[in-house]
């Protein structure tokens, strides 16, 4: 595995970094907050700005794609080599809401460089990480002397990621043909830390449901009737308790069917990460590690499926007590799922299990909301190895591997396009995604440009073999 940087790439980046940063700052000044209707025009302005900049970069095809919500940007730069593989880069140009009053030290939409950090909403999530591909592809061309990229390069930069990507799946299904790719590069994640460069290899999926249980037609007196009729709050409590067995495993029959287990190599690599559980607990604002037996905390959050209570309620909610058997109770559950688990199969298992838990005399409704599939690329996948090499060259050290515990639209890309999904990101936990004073480390941003510059040649070869 080569970890040798390329002086030509570095030189090109150095020469163009001022313009690159000026451009990025211009983009960051557009408050493209997708969740706030008053910023709808700004989101559109952001899409137009990016389209123009991609054209300027050299992409022969640049389009604004409409959705039922905010617009996405699509760009394409075919390789002169017709046999070259196709790669699709994914990111998003919308940002989280931000206001000075939230605790920002400077205006969130007035980018400012302090020392080696660029502060602005979207600096890391995700404009900075989208934008490094523009200088990246130029450096790739300059260093290799090519006039087109080594891969057929496509970009899809959506405008609703911070609003839950409500129209994303429809969008990619609609444009499935034009989006077709041999690999997807997602640039919307981070690394372990400044000193431990990493590549994410997958994300967990998500199944969400709400269970409502009804007992008596109205709250009834617990003195007159208590102890002799089913109590829906008790039923819900028992279902919550039955979700896990004594080893912290999800106790729903069939839940683990087909799961892709962690490999020994992955477990070993995770275990080698400089993980400080006490510090992690501080980040989690929690007071103990707790979960499935036989797995480390990192394995639990990255690679193991979970069942979590997000909300529970029923009966008397006011101050003091009220001696009733409640008419109804509910629980909102979410299940993180991992590679090999299918949302539809998991939902069927949950449904069957819930029905088996319910005593006579209660009625229930179980409602599932939109599920997200898991995605995972095996460590020995050639495309993943190429990403790891590109990052390794940029950082001049071998990179390590992580996963993401959360869920995102990357899985839809893997699913609809039937392509492996790779993650190329340089953000670090201190960047403050969704928080005040979001920033990106300028040195890492440059490493991102550099990794993007190395990637296409390597990937073209890896995917060809």
Which of 18, 285 has the CB closer to its own copies? 285
Q: How far is the CB of 366 from its own copies (least distance, A)?
A: 13
Q: How far is the CB of 309 from its own copies (least distance, A)?
A: 4
Which residues touch 35 (CB under 8 Å, ≥6 apart)? 96, 97, 162, 163
| Rounded-to-integer distance, Cα 134 and Cα 131, Å | 6
Which of 141, 252 has the CB closer to its own copies? 252
Q: At residue 224, what are phi and psi to the nearest 5 degrees?
A: -75, -35
Starting from the edge strand earliest in sequence, which strands make up the sheet with 421-423, in order?
A: 61-65, 72-77, 152-158, 86-92, 183-186, 421-423
Q: Considering only CA atoms, which of 372, 387, 458, 445 is closest in space to residue 420? A: 387
| Rounded-to-integer distance, Cα 402 and Cα 273, Å | 9
Which of 265, 322 has the CB closer to its own copies? 322
If you count them, how many residues does the chain have? Answer: 465
Q: How far is the CB of 431 from its own copies (least distance, A)?
A: 14
Q: How far is the CB of 215 from its own copies (least distance, A)?
A: 6
Which of 6, 412 has the CB closer to its own copies? 412
> What is residue 337's three-state secondary structure?
strand
Q: How far is the CB of 280 from its own copies (least distance, A)?
A: 8
| Rounded-to-integer distance, Cα 229 and Cα 221, Å | 11
Q: How far is the CB of 338 from its own copies (least distance, A)?
A: 11
Bin 58: left if φ > 0, else alpha if -120 < ψ < 50, else beta. Answer: left
| Rounded-to-integer distance, Cα 187 and Cα 131, Å | 10
Q: How far is the CB of 198 from its own copies (least distance, A)?
A: 16
Q: How far is the CB of 403 from its own copies (least distance, A)?
A: 11
Which of 377, 407 has the CB closer to its own copies? 407
Which of 350, 459 has the CB closer to its own copies? 350
| Rounded-to-integer distance, Cα 117 and Cα 105, Å | 14
Which of 336, 373 has the CB closer to its own copies? 336
The b/e string for 361-393 (b: 16+ C-beta within 10 A; e otherwise) is ebebebebeebbbbbbbeeebbbbbbbbbbbbb
Which of 4, 218 has the CB closer to its own copies? 218
């Amino acid at each position: 595995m080569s970890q040798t940087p390329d002086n030509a790439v570095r030189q090109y980046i150095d020469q163009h970094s001022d313009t690159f940063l000026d451009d990025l700052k211009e983009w960051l000044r557009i408050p493209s907050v997708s969740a706030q209707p008053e910023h709808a025009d700004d989101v559109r302005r952001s899409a137009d700005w990016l389209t123009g900049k991609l054209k300027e970069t050299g992409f022969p095809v640049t389009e604004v794609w409409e959705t039922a919500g905010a617009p996405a940007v699509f760009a394409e730069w075919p390789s002169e080599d017709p046999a070259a593989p196709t790669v699709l880069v994914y990111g998003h140009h919308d940002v989280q809401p931000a206001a000075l009053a939230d605790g920002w030290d400077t205006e969130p939409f007035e980018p400012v460089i302090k020392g080696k950090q660029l502060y602005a909403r979207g600096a890391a999530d995700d404009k900075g990480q989208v934008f490094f591909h523009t200088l990246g592809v130029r450096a790739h061309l300059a260093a290799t002397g090519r006039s087109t990229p080594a891969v057929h390069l496509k970009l899809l930069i959506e405008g609703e990621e911070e609003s839950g990507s409500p129209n994303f799946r429809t969008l990619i299904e609609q444009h499935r043909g034009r989006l077709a790719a041999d690999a997807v590069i997602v640039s919307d994640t981070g690394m372990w830390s400044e000193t431990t460069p990493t590549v994410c290899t997958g994300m967990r999926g998500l199944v969400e449901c709400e269970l409502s249980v009804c007992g008596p037609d109205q709250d009834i007196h617990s003195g007159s009737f208590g102890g002799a009729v089913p109590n829906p709050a008790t039923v819900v409590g028992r279902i919550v308790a039955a979700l896990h067995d004594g080893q912290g495993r999800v106790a729903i029959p069939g839940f683990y069917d087909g799961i892709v287990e962690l490999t020994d190599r992955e477990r070993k690599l995770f275990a080698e990460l400089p993980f400080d559980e006490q510090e992690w607990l501080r980040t989690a604002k929690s007071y103990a590690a707790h979960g499935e037996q036989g797995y480390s905390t990192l394995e639990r959050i990255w690679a193991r499926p979970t069942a979590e209570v997000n909300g529970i309620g029923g009966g008397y909610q006011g101050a003091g007590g009220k001696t009733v058997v409640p008419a109804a109770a509910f629980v909102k559950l979410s299940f993180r799922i991992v590679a090999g688990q299918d949302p539809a199969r998991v939902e069927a298992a949950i449904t069957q299990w819930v029905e088996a838990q319910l005593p006579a005399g209660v009625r229930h409704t179980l409602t599932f909301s939109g599920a997200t599939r898991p995605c995972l690329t095996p460590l020995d996948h050639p495309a993943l190895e190429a990403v790891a090499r590109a990052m390794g060259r940029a950082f001049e050290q071998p990179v390590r591997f992580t996963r993401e515990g959360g869920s995102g639209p990357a899985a839809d890309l893997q699913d609809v396009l039937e392509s492996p999904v790779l993650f190329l990101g340089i953000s670090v936990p201190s960047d403050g995604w969704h928080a005040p004073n979001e920033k990106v480390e300028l040195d890492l941003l440059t490493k991102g440009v550099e990794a993007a510059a190395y990637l296409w040649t390597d990937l073209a070869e890896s995917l060809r073999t």
